[in-house]
Structure 1
Amino acid sequence: MHEYNYDDIFTFEKCITFLNHLGIPTASRDIGTQGFLPGFLIENGIIVIDHQQLQHPGDILHEAGHIAVVPSADRSCLTEEAIAHRVNREAEELMAIAWSYAACSYLMIDPAFVFHEEGYRGGSSYITDSCDDKSYIGLSMLEGIGLTEVPSYPDMIRWLRE
């Protein structure tokens, strides 16, 4: 892993513990140049972490969001390539954003840990500003799949789609 301060490492480990508790497995190994985001690879529903390639540890919650919002029957065969070719990939991307924001809230993590300046094609401040204004991106879709209800968001009814 690149140079991070103690808080980043502690927060990253907190995220891993949370995800494993939810049933989103993680593993650590070398992935080389594989992976859409440096240091992460989704492989058969598992988030593989390459600590040597890792640039933004908060990306783990967004990657987990992709796994969480797909139907349970699809999770075990989910890969990054499969995510890119899913019929509902745009909606699932927005739901992953809303899911990861809810995870930040639940874990009491600053959303900037996930929505960092180098991510989201330069739109991270738009996402955080929208959340500050309680105009949550992807919220209605998360509600539509039964993970939350609008009045109580960012609290979640459940973390994984059935």
Structure 2
Amino acid sequence: MSLKENIEVKKVVQFLEEIKINIIEKELGNTFLPGLELGPNCIYIDYEKLLYPGDILHEAGHLAVTTSAERKLVGTTEIPSEWPTQGDEIAAILWSYGALHYLELPLEFVFHPNGYRDQSQWFISNFSSGTYMGLPLLEWMGLCLGKEKAEKEQKSPFPAMQKWLRD
């Protein structure tokens, strides 16, 4: 069975399209993550080369935490050379955890053993225990609420997301 037909991949692709991140199937050469490349508000996927479907959510996290103005520049020469920053990376990791929670997918789907510089188990352990490194950053971006603010506003705290894309 092709990864394109995988039930988890279909769930992820449908979700991303619902939140207005375009998925474009395309033949890709060598890319940083096999079978994936980011473009202006889109993710290019080469299902024949894709090794880890969870990487789709992580890459979507990069688009989601990027301002709408810069999101249109991703994959072009106009995107600032420092993009993504370390803060963007942390926010994308946390965003992908929020997406996993929302989609009811296992943490290992994104945090597979061959990713995150052999720190996948560390992320799984932290997130499973409710330790959300970088939460103030994601909250500052207006995407979610920490526990205290959520209680004040009578809304659900992270990992629930208030919105999926940064303005």
Q: Same fold (TM over 0.5)?
A: yes
The CA deviation string for residues 25-65 of structure 1, in whole angstroms up to 9 with x for no partner, is: 010010111x2100100022210000111000010000000
Cα distance, 1:123–1:103 mapped onto 2, change above 3 Å: same
Uncovered stretches (5+) of structure 2, i.e. residues with no partner = 148-156
Dislocated runs of 4+, deviation >3 Å: 80-84
* 2:159 equivalent to 1:154: yes
Taking structure 1 as the reference length, the TM-score comes to 0.90
Taking structure 2 as the reference length, the TM-score comes to 0.87
Identity, in percent, stands at 37
Per-residue deviation at 1:79? 2.1
> Following the alignment from structure 1 to structure 2, what is the Cα–Cα distance between the partners of residues 115 and 79?
24
Amino acid at match of 1:160: L
- The answer (yes or no) to whether the contact 1:97–1:137 under 8 Å persists in 2 is no
* 2:75 equivalent to 1:79: yes
The aligned length equals 156
**Matched residue, 1:25:** 22
> Following the alignment from structure 2 to structure 1, what is the Cα–Cα distance between the partners of residues 55 and 47?
13
* 2:120 equivalent to 1:115: no
- The answer (yes or no) to whether the contact 1:117–1:125 under 8 Å persists in 2 is yes
Secondary structure at the counterpart of residue 33 of structure 2: coil
- The answer (yes or no) to whether the contact 2:37–2:43 under 8 Å persists in 1 is yes
Uncovered stretches (5+) of structure 1, i.e. residues with no partner = none
- The answer (yes or no) to whether the contact 1:69–1:161 under 8 Å persists in 2 is yes
> Following the alignment from structure 1 to structure 2, what is the Cα–Cα distance between the partners of residues 65 and 94?
10
- The answer (yes or no) to whether the contact 1:36–1:80 under 8 Å persists in 2 is no
Mapping 1:10-159, distance limit 5 Å:
10-33=7-30, 35-79=31-75, 82=79, 85-86=82-83, 89-151=85-147, 152-159=157-164
